[in-house]
């Protein structure tokens, strides 16, 4: 017959065993989520390279969700940036803008000029703590804003991206985007001058 003292010891041991097993299975689940997200992201890249932009968007959306469930913020942000590139290829600039603002956890992104101004104020204060991925998202956001005709906002966003990517090989791409925005601003001024 088992005494109450032994019963407590057995219950304690069983509880400890279940706790150990559950802690071992959680990282395995998280790791499988990361692997699934990586596979989806790679499939998205293949679809994008093949010109299947709609399919790439769907795969990168699924990858972002899987990365989020796995707790991988960086992977999620990269998938959002890739998704925005495919949206740009389809000419869906407002949707690409909203997707890029998700990288910065903007609530209810609309890409309305007032929201962009508020975003610029917030992100300017964080410019020294931006990750490489966030700086890349800023470069892409600057391009989207230029294509939407929000040239001054594009210029400010690209300048922030340049500050964050100053010592990165990607700074050349930011300078090119900034030059394109400056050229568009110049063309706009020229066109107004010719019209008057």
The Cα 45–Cα 60 span in angstroms is 8
Q: How many C-beta atoms lie closer than 10 Å to residue 155's C-beta?
A: 19
- What pTM, to 2 d.p., does this model score? 0.78
The Cα 25–Cα 6 span in angstroms is 29
> Could you tell me how many helices (H) and strands (E) the chain has, helices first?
8, 0
Q: What is the pLDDT of residue 2?
A: 56
Q: What is the pLDDT of residue 171?
A: 83
State the DSSP H helix or E strand holding residue 91, giving kind and residue range, or none if neither.
none
The closest of 160, 123, 127, 154 to 141, measured between CA atoms, is 154
Q: What is the pLDDT of residue 26?
A: 39
The Cα 142–Cα 3 span in angstroms is 72
Q: CA 26, 29, 32 angle in degrees (round to 5)?
A: 150
The closest of 41, 132, 39, 138 to 82, measured between CA atoms, is 41
The Cα 34–Cα 67 span in angstroms is 6
Query: Do residues 66 and 36 lie in contact, with contact meaning Cβ atoms separated by under 8 Å?
Result: yes
Q: What is the pLDDT of residue 196?
A: 61
SS (H, E, C) 10-51: HHHHHHHHHHHHHHHHHHHHHHHHHHHHHHHHHHHHHHHHCC
Residue 149 DSSP SS3: coil
Query: Do residues 57 and 88 lie in contact, with contact meaning Cβ atoms separated by under 8 Å?
Result: no
Q: CB neighbours of 111 closer than 8 A, spacing ≥ 6?
A: 94, 97, 98, 101, 148
Per-residue pLDDT tens digits of the chain, which is 196 residues long: 555 555 665 664 465 544 444 444 334 444 666 788 899 999 999 999 999 999 999 999 999 999 999 999 999 999 999 999 999 999 999 999 999 999 999 989 999 999 999 999 999 888 788 889 999 999 999 999 999 999 999 999 999 998 888 878 888 888 888 888 889 888 888 877 766 6
């Amino acid at each position: 017959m088992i005494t109450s003292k032994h019963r407590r010891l057995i219950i304690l041991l069983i509880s400890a065993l279940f706790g150990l097993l559950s802690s071992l299975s959680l990282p395995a689940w998280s790791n499988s989520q990361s692997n699934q997200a990586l596979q989806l992201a790679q499939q998205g890249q293949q679809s994008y390279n093949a010109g299947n932009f709609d399919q790439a968007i769907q795969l990168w959306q699924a990858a972002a969700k899987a990365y989020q469930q796995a707790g991988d913020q960086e992977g999620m942000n990269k998938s959002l940036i890739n998704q925005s590139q495919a949206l740009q290829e389809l000419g869906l600039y407002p949707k690409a803008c909203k997707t890029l603002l998700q990288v910065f956890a903007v609530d209810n992104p609309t890409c309305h000029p007032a929201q962009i101004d508020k975003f610029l104020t917030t992100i300017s204060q964080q410019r020294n703590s931006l990750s490489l991925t966030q700086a890349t998202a800023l470069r892409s956001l600057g391009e989207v804003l230029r294509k939407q005709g929000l040239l001054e906002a594009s210029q400010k966003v690209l300048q922030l991206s340049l500050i964050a990517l100053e010592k990165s090989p990607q700074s050349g791409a930011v300078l090119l985007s900034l030059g394109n925005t400056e050229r568009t601003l110049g063309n706009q001024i020229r066109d107004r001058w010719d019209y008057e």
